[in-house]
Structure 1
Amino acid sequence: MAGTASHVGKSTVVAGLLRALSRRGVDAAPFKAQNMSNNARVAVIPGGKDAYGEIGVSQAVQARAAEVTPTTDHNPVLLKPSGGGESQVIVQGRARATVPAGTYYESHWETARAAAIESFERLAATHDVIVAEGAGSIAEINLADRDLANVETARFADARIVLVGDIERGGVFASLYGTLELLPDDLRERVVGLLVNKFRGDRSLLDPGLCELESKTGRPVLGVLPHDDPGLPEEDSLSAPAVGDRGVLGEEDGIPTAEAATVAVPRWPHLSNATDLEPLASVPGVRVAYVPLDATLATADAVVLPGTKNTVDDLRAAREEGFDDTLRSFEGPIVGVCGGYQMLGERIENAHVEGTGSVDTVRGFGLLPMKTVFSPEKRVQRRSCGVDPVPPLRGASGRATGYEIHMGTSTVTGDHPEPLEPGSVAQDGVLGTYLHGLFENRSIRRAFGDAAFGAAGISPPMETGTDSDPYEAAADLLETHLSDQYRSLLHLDGTPD
């Protein structure tokens, strides 16, 4: 699944196809040779005993759609931007180095390509179908000789290519046609069809253009998918608001703003794992609002401090804007996750300061009795733990599952509740935890939502039915709008050849 650009919907199309294949008993798996994202999930490292590494969120989501265990083979190369034009290079789950963008191809390209081929071959040996996702546009001609996720993957996988275009942006006909024209000859021959995504309106008005597009390209239009978000976690950076911008999630539930509770989320300069907030926004009546660091929090009922790739730098940026004083005066429930948790403590020791190469002890916000000591080792693991229903999680029960990806060890000072995994801490309605995926646990997101409603002085709206399954919704979206005569191209007509 290749795209004409970033954010055209490739990830959702891949997830929907994988679930549709799984429905038919086809053993399928996702693959993305190289990804760039600070939204990562924990996956199994093949061949290692209880060994875990990092992959991009979309491939973890796609593995779940395919109903297979996420492994680092699904995304063998992950680049995590760390600021200053540098990225941490994750190869088959493990961090290898942090390098400037300009030197990556000189220092790690061959290693990355070899790892991608190795991972693909392992997957191909154990699955019937591999659904690979490209990155950005497949026609970036300045990168054609080193485009691992698109050009190289299509070649070493001997893949058939479906080209996805986004009609919402406008110019979808030119995008699809122009992308085909710019492809190397051998890749153009591999394109078996086109998909138009995110369509709104009367399909009959589109048909003349589709017919001419097929005539000009010699490729069939496999389907037109409507603009209908099934609710899968986002990964692309375009899904998060820009620094200083305000973005609000959860406004589509039809509940008036006056009857809603607002959870404010500071938009760190180095925000990571923003997908942690998406499940919370699915609670009816909860609005998740990204706010700039100089925000007053006057309209907020609760606050969540999300993860960050650069805890110390974002902590200092927040202090420069006065956010620490604002947060200390806030009286509602507060949750800090990973880097946000580290900021809530008394201090951070052995902290790397961006641009200086030096280390220092940095004062935290001081809302939790905890200190963090940084070290070069990164903790990457899955977690399952009991829930102690202390504020702001009063009413939560059962066990919480999630994952940890962080550097630094936090130590709680004094006798305070550890409501989740050891090292978490709660005090006076403030909770800190390393557990990414916290709000994917229904009991916890409902409890925190109730705390936000309580702070707002309003009652939570009545629940209607159960949460829908976004994986089934993605498959339904694809199956409903895929042209019947082309289903065999995507192995949806029975057993794969």
Structure 2
Amino acid sequence: MGKKIMLQGTASNVGKSIITTGLCRIFKQDGYNVIPFKSQNMALNSFITKEGLEMGRAQVSQAEACGIDPIADMNPILLKPNGNNKSQVIVRGKVVGDMSSKEYHEYKLQLTEVLGDIFEEFEEKYDVVVMEGAGSCAEINLMERDISNMGMAEIADAPVIIIGDIDRGGVFASLAGTMLLLPDEYKKRVKGVIINKFRGRKELLDSGIKMLEDIIKVPVLGVLPYTDIKIEEEDSVTTRFKQKVNKGNIHIEVVRTPHMSNFTDFNIFETQEDVSLRYVDFGESFGDPDIVIIPGTKSTIDDLMFLRKNGLENQIKELHRRGKLIIGICGGYQMLGKVLKDPYHVENDLEEVEGIGLLDVETTFEMEKTTTQVKAILDENFHGYLENLSGKEVSGYEIHMGITKRNENSNNFVTVKQKLEQKVNYQVGSVNKECNVFGTYLHGIFDDIDFTRTILNNIRKMKNLEPIESNVKSFKEFKNQQYDKLADYLREHLDMEKIYEIMENSLRS
């Protein structure tokens, strides 16, 4: 049976996902066959596997850190909030339906056997299983039916390390309070705690750490200083939306809609030295961007109404009139069309809604979700912003409910040549005649450095600036470097010898 360890937290956004990712990398570096596991994830950031199954993005990063392909069973339960007090429930990569919190609370007990079977299989096949909890592990109102934190630790019979975030203040109280609220049988599982996001001189914490250890009766396994290692974060709890990244010659602004999904599509821009990236939030206006991006969304019609209500739709139209590049990804692509039809009320009570109208396309929402990985060829005869891209290969993944049909005043964007590793031949996406508006269903398309850098250099040319090469030659290689950097950082600040001892002792218990 393999070794196992579970990272839980005092709250959301304390660093569980990133520390789990780093431990995955350390164990891989140390020669182990490692796999991540998070029983339940609530996130709008998702990914499609080679099999066409949907899973949370955090476990994709963790799989990459392990050096293995992501599979849906690494995140068997994914909850995607709909914005109507319900969430879409995805089990083992497939949608089982929309449920209210009450309905899901009743349903999730049916999933304990599924979780146990998956974990048992992982434990047999892999040397180490690195598990991640969700939110706070001390939600006493939910503990009876918990399958995310201590409930999952019980199923897996796993030792637990609890993470607290000192940056938000009160870390000693949050760690001590969390331990206080845990039943005795759960307290026994906790073998240590980690203090994360520390700023300052560690020696100032020493007396507090000693007092904390006396109170909670388990050791502090490390104090992690605040760091800027670029690892994908978990959904909307991230603080990156408040940051303006870089101060380059090219300005990109992304609309932060209420139900924005897959903001990881834009992480690549943070690696480009000539790009400034800003998320335009509620109540804010666009500046003077070179590129406007409408991102993917879990609720296209609701988010279109958000743009309309807040005046952002008219600002997008004005920026288009001024010749700026307007891009729509997935739900953003649907919004850019002439009309959105919802005959089955998949998204809304309205059966038809007028779109922004910058692309001559129509979208009809269907009952069945499209989830696939594809490889595609960019269409011919591109110019302007898309100059020098004609005929190049790109790849990505699709997650959408709608089917979008192009009309006569819209050109094709890509021709898909491979779908779920099978040869196909069909067109998808849309570009206007001027090549200053395009929409695509391909999440992850910007991860192709050549595609992204070509567009950025076309803008540089329009601004009478010399083209430059990306300092990141491969986004995959860049991420690998960040995983190694994260592993080095954790080795420096965590007691890895003690963590290995915890895992070894759990095998003998």
> Residue in 1 aligned with 2:359?
368
Q: Measured at CA, do residues 6 and 338 of structure 1 come closer, stay the same or move farther in structure 2, by a change above 3 Å?
A: same
C-alpha separation in 1, matches of 2:65 and 2:508:
18
- Residue identity opposite 1:239 in structure 2: T
> Residue in 2 aligned with 1:413?
407
Query: How far does the alpha carbon of each residue in 1:457-487 deviate from its partner, in whole angstroms, 9 at most, with x for none?
Result: 6556775576462221221221121225414
Q: Is the 1:42–1:52 Cα contact (8 Å) retained in structure 2?
A: yes
> Residue in 2 aligned with 1:447?
454
Q: Is the 2:39–2:75 Cα contact (8 Å) retained in structure 1?
A: yes
C-alpha separation in 2, matches of 1:141 and 1:74:
26
Q: Measured at CA, do residues 393 and 123 of structure 1 come closer, stay the same or move farther in structure 2, by a change above 3 Å?
A: farther
Q: Is the 2:412–2:428 Cα contact (8 Å) retained in structure 1?
A: no
- Residue identity opposite 1:446 in structure 2: R
Q: Is the 2:109–2:145 Cα contact (8 Å) retained in structure 1?
A: no
Q: Measured at CA, do residues 276 and 465 of structure 1 come closer, stay the same or move farther in structure 2, by a change above 3 Å?
A: closer
Unaligned runs of 5+ in 1: 45-50, 252-256
SS in 1 for 2:371: strand
Q: Measured at CA, do residues 109 and 492 of structure 1 come closer, stay the same or move farther in structure 2, by a change above 3 Å?
A: closer
Q: Measured at CA, do residues 371 and 118 of structure 1 come closer, stay the same or move farther in structure 2, by a change above 3 Å?
A: same
SS in 2 for 1:268: coil
Is residue 102 of structure 1 aligned with residue 95 of structure 2?
no
Deviation at 1:431, TM superposition (A): 1.5
> Residue in 2 aligned with 1:29?
35
Is residue 377 of structure 1 aligned with residue 380 of structure 2?
no
> Residue in 2 aligned with 1:250?
245
SS in 1 for 2:370: strand
Is residue 425 of structure 1 aligned with residue 430 of structure 2?
yes
- Residue identity opposite 1:285 in structure 2: D
C-alpha separation in 1, matches of 2:385 and 2:254:
16
- TM (norm. structure 1) is 0.89
- Residue identity opposite 2:444 in structure 1: G
> Residue in 2 aligned with 1:402?
396
Please provide the CA RMSD for this pair: 2.7
Deviation at 1:306, TM superposition (A): 0.1
Q: Is the 1:302–1:455 Cα contact (8 Å) retained in structure 2?
A: no
SS in 2 for 1:445: helix
> Residue in 1 aligned with 2:16?
10
Deviation at 1:353, TM superposition (A): 5.9
> Residue in 2 aligned with 1:47?
none
> Residue in 1 aligned with 2:157?
158
Deviation at 1:72, TM superposition (A): 1.3
Deviation at 1:345, TM superposition (A): 1.5
C-alpha separation in 2, matches of 1:9 and 1:463:
29
Which among 482, 485, 490 is matched to residue 470 of structure 1? 482
- Residue identity opposite 1:424 in structure 2: G
C-alpha separation in 2, matches of 1:160 and 1:24:
20
Q: Is the 1:34–1:79 Cα contact (8 Å) retained in structure 2?
A: yes
C-alpha separation in 2, matches of 1:8 and 1:28:
23
> Residue in 2 aligned with 1:223?
222
- Residue identity opposite 1:445 in structure 2: T
Q: Measured at CA, do residues 206 and 388 of structure 1 come closer, stay the same or move farther in structure 2, by a change above 3 Å?
A: farther
Deviation at 1:272, TM superposition (A): 1.3
C-alpha separation in 2, matches of 1:8 and 1:452:
39
Mean alpha-carbon deviation: is it higher for 119-128 or for 446-455?
Answer: 446-455
Which among 288, 293, 306 is matched to residue 304 of structure 1? 293
Q: Is the 1:40–1:55 Cα contact (8 Å) retained in structure 2?
A: yes
- TM (norm. structure 2) is 0.87
Is residue 275 of structure 1 aligned with residue 264 of structure 2?
yes
Query: How far does the alpha carbon of each residue in 1:100-119 deviate from its partner, in whole angstroms, 9 at most, with x for none?
Result: 2222112x222332322222
- Residue identity opposite 1:85 in structure 2: N
Deviation at 1:433, TM superposition (A): 0.6
Q: Is the 1:333–1:455 Cα contact (8 Å) retained in structure 2?
A: no
Deviation at 1:454, TM superposition (A): 5.1
C-alpha separation in 1, matches of 2:15 and 2:116:
25
Q: Measured at CA, do residues 312 and 230 of structure 1 come closer, stay the same or move farther in structure 2, by a change above 3 Å?
A: same
Mean alpha-carbon deviation: is it higher for 149-158 or for 174-183?
Answer: 174-183
> Residue in 2 aligned with 1:48?
none
Q: Measured at CA, do residues 19 and 490 of structure 1 come closer, stay the same or move farther in structure 2, by a change above 3 Å?
A: farther
Q: Is the 1:420–1:433 Cα contact (8 Å) retained in structure 2?
A: no
Deviation at 1:319, TM superposition (A): 2.2
- Residue identity opposite 1:489 in structure 2: E
Q: Measured at CA, do residues 116 and 150 of structure 1 come closer, stay the same or move farther in structure 2, by a change above 3 Å?
A: same
Q: Is the 1:32–1:75 Cα contact (8 Å) retained in structure 2?
A: yes
Q: Percent identity?
A: 36
1:313-352 paired onto structure 2 within 5 Å = 313-330=302-319, 331-350=323-342
C-alpha separation in 2, matches of 1:28 and 1:53:
21
When the two structures are aligned, how many residues end up with a matched partner? 478
